[in-house]
Structure 1
């Protein structure tokens, strides 16, 4: 009876996933026809960049930058990094978070001692089409769903590893943050569905929005608990949350993104202009230095980029408005049940995808270890004898709170996020 129930549960999950996300179509474009590569040297660091045409009909092109591991280990795991948005460039992660070089406020480059690139090869892809240097000459090339996104991205990954064959057998991990809470499960599931030909071992999501129905009903409580709202304001925001959840339940996707932003903007206004990505700040992030740097003609020539760069592209964002409030939880369920290593981490001071909402989402994941996960103890994580966070783990599932970090933990806590990633990949305990 137990075996029959498990089989029934698997078939139910698979049917639901297949119905919601038809991820079985694989694009087999010829690698030789859709590939460009540039080798460059930037501040003594050698990298590779270029374009992969992932849809010839729409002339849709994904831009990438690839850095081999700085320790020159030929067996180094390959990490894919995806930014969120939707529509934001992964080069923000490269030059502001975990890459080998960081752009300073004056536009200069500084070597990052805590780069994930020290021991890992990292592939940054401006995803989806239209983000960063990626582009399409046809407006229909912009994606409107996670199914389209993952098909384009999987095409790009297959072409990449067909060219960088010396890395095709290395361990592969998919990482991303924010709206990549959708992208990461979507591309990981597509890789899994196609027989895991890329040797994917796991995935990591930082402050990721994966299931708005489970994550967006904690804005008021988080804001009240941190003193941003009083009781009456908390009640008012709770009413807006209830309206949003009803909209999601009724699958009214058209204005869901606008209503989501209405809630977070209202909290920001009530609290005196708080930065919803980091409640310690009362001003937005400054993207001018990186924007000016990447739009220098000399830099674009160096990378072989033939588009203008902006941090977050409106066309790409608008294309995914219908997708915004939909869930990828069924994909996460399958991936974790299938045994892939799964890391979810949350910055302590992030409001927009806060720890409370992420915890609720993770507690609802359907897998065989769910009850043991719920009953497992959260442990204190120390780095260099300093308490830097808290870890809840059972088998292949991790959820980590990173102290003194906002929405972009690698930017705020580079040393500790590197320690986290290294422990996760090398299966080293956090205690």
Structure 2
């Protein structure tokens, strides 16, 4: 692995934000790892900062290292996850009081290669399946820990969102029993000595069809579809299921994208559109797009709103010293398209393998999410072969609170090393919608 650290010294005038600060206000480190020929992956570490310690939670000791994996595939963790969900600064570079850096060191990786500031110098270097993504992630983490060996003893957790949940499963155990690239298997073999303690699969794309097949009933029961709309969504879902059953995975991805056309519904939060501009732009151009570009426009494009693009390709790019030839997010569409043959494949077996390792496995989901709705999550969990599944499903869930005496923030079930959390008043982007409760959940994990 060739590990390249790019310049950390910023020279020149800082971009001035009306209400914001600068990246000089937080302590971070960053670099590139050449994981394969023509494949260059970017990581950005934000160190634990006690000034962000939540007043309602005790300090964690030892301090964990928390890896955040974004969705898409093709969305940028260093951009969206960092500045719009859980990093120390928001889009205006103002302080985010619910930053995860109050609990641990937070590591963002632009993954798969081609997302965010990660890039390929040859189109043949894009990953096409989960095993390849996992191989690259092991390589980039080896490069990261070569730079920060002092963090090797710290507990390590992989926290994910959306397609990042599918990636997170693979990173921990591999998508098949024969996978050579999992973190856990590398640890068992003594070739990757990190202190991996668990993973959180947030609104995870674990079983695509369980989500798709539940969209119609979910929208109908929440009053967002009438009878005709329910029939149309169910018909499109059935067509997608037929492609899955036939093993035509690329066609399944294309048909999936055409299922996502209920008018005036935000797929990330059914009550509060988070990306109105992107959503409107996508629907205006819907007739001119063909899948999987349609799926990219609705999902990856929505992660990367115009203000974020301006920030990342302006001030942030200059501050970090990113190569001039690299455009943040410039290859994201290609990343999605390269994964189109793997996108709809379920990884329920992988979750079973993950539970069998004994590490902590947490599934959490936003109540108001549609793209990965909670009913769909419950459907795939019932397909696990875990020996205690029946006992787990039969138990009552427990109300959970960020603050005792306040409104319920969510519910949880826990048994052995497996947990499920329902997060109330949150959509797909749980840390952005329910920041304080998410800190409580993360601390509990």
* Equivalent-residue separation in structure 2 for 1:181 and 1:74 (angstroms): 26
Match of 1:288 in 2: 306
Residue 102 of structure 1 aligns to a residue whose secondary structure is coil
The aligned counterpart of 2:76 is 89
2:422 maps to 401
- TM, length-normalised to structure 2: 0.82
- 1:183 maps onto 2:174 in alignment: no
2:373 aligned to 354, 358, 375, which one? 354
Instruction: Find the aligned partners of 1:237 and 1:136 in 2 and give their Cα distance.
Output: 37
8 Å CA contact 1:37–1:48 kept in 2: the answer is: no
Secondary structure of the residue aligned to 1:123 is: strand
Q: Single out whichever of 275-284 and 161-170 deviates more from structure 2.
A: 275-284
Separation of aligned partners in 1, 2:321 and 2:377:
38
Please point out which of 50, 70, 77 is paired with 1:71: 50
Q: Trace 1:223-372 onto structure 2 (pairs within 5 A).
A: 223-265=219-261, 267=262, 269=263, 273-282=264-273, 283=276, 284=279, 287-296=305-314, 298-306=315-323, 307-310=326-329, 313-372=332-391
Name the CA distance, whole Å, in 1 between partners of 2:226 and 2:420: 29
Tell me the alpha carbon deviations over residues 198-229 of structure 1, each in whole angstroms, 9 at most, x when there is no partner.
22110011111112233321000110111011
Distance 1:132 1:98 in 2: 17
SS, match of residue 383 in structure 1? coil
Kept after mapping to 1: 8 A contact 2:369/2:428 = yes
Structure 2: gaps of 5 or more residues = 10-21, 52-59, 174-181, 280-301
* 2:39 aligned to which of 43, 51, 60: 60
Q: How does 1:41-190 map to 2 (within 5 A)?
A: 42-55=23-36, 57=37, 59-71=38-50, 75-91=62-78, 92-103=80-91, 108-189=92-173, 190=182
Contact 2:35-2:140 within 8 A present in 1 as well: yes
- State the distance in 2 between where 1:48 and 1:299 align: 13
Shift of 1:38: 4.4
Task: State the SS of the aligned residue for 2:76.
Answer: coil
- Asked whether the equivalents of residues 274 and 281 of structure 1 are also in contact (C-alpha less than 8 Å), the reply is no
Seen in structure 2, the aligned counterparts of structure 1 residues 156 and 209 have a Cα distance that, compared at 3 Å, is same
Contact between 2:361 and 2:418, CA under 8 Å: does it hold in 1? yes
Post-superposition offset of 1:276: 1.2
**Are the aligned partners of 2:69 and 2:77 in contact in 1 as well (CA < 8 Å)?**
yes
The farther-off stretch of 205-214 and 151-160 is 205-214
CA RMSD of aligned residues (A): 1.8
- Distance in structure 1 (CA, Å) of the matches to 2:316 and 2:208: 38
Give the 3-state SS of the residue equivalent to 2:419 in structure 1: strand
The 1:100–1:312 alpha-carbon spacing in structure 2 relative to 1, beyond 3 Å, is: farther
Q: How many residues align?
A: 381
Q: CA deviation at 1:37?
A: 4.5
Q: Following TM superposition, by how much is the alpha carbon of 1:74 offset from its aligned partner in structure 2, in angstroms?
A: 8.6
Shift of 1:392: 2.0
Asked whether the 8 Å contact 2:8–2:321 carries over to 1, the reply is no
Deviations 1:118-174 (Å, cap 9, x if unpaired)?
A: 120011000011000100101011100001111111111112112210001111111
Runs of 5+ in structure 1 lacking a partner? Answer: 1-28, 425-431
Partners of 2:69 and 2:165 within 8 A in 1: no
Is the CA contact 1:176–1:206 (under 8 Å) kept in the aligned structure 2? yes
CA contact (8 A) 1:39 1:47 kept: no
Q: CA deviation at 1:312?
A: 7.7
Contact 1:49–1:304 (CA under 8 A) maintained in structure 2: no
Q: Distance in 2 between matches of 1:124 and 1:134?
A: 11
Name the structure 2 match of 1:6.
Answer: none
- Find the aligned partners of 2:131 and 2:162 in 1 and give their Cα distance: 18
Equivalent residue number for residue 194 of structure 1: 186
- State the TM-score, normalized to the length of structure 1: 0.85
Give how far 1:109 is off.
1.0
Q: Secondary structure at the match of 1:405?
A: coil
Structure 2 vs 1, CA of residues 324 and 60 (structure 1 numbering), >3 Å: closer, same or farther?
same
Contact in 1 for aligned 2:6/2:322 (Cα 8 Å)? no
Distance change (3 Å), C-alpha of 1:254 and 1:155: same
- Aligned residue for 2:215? 219
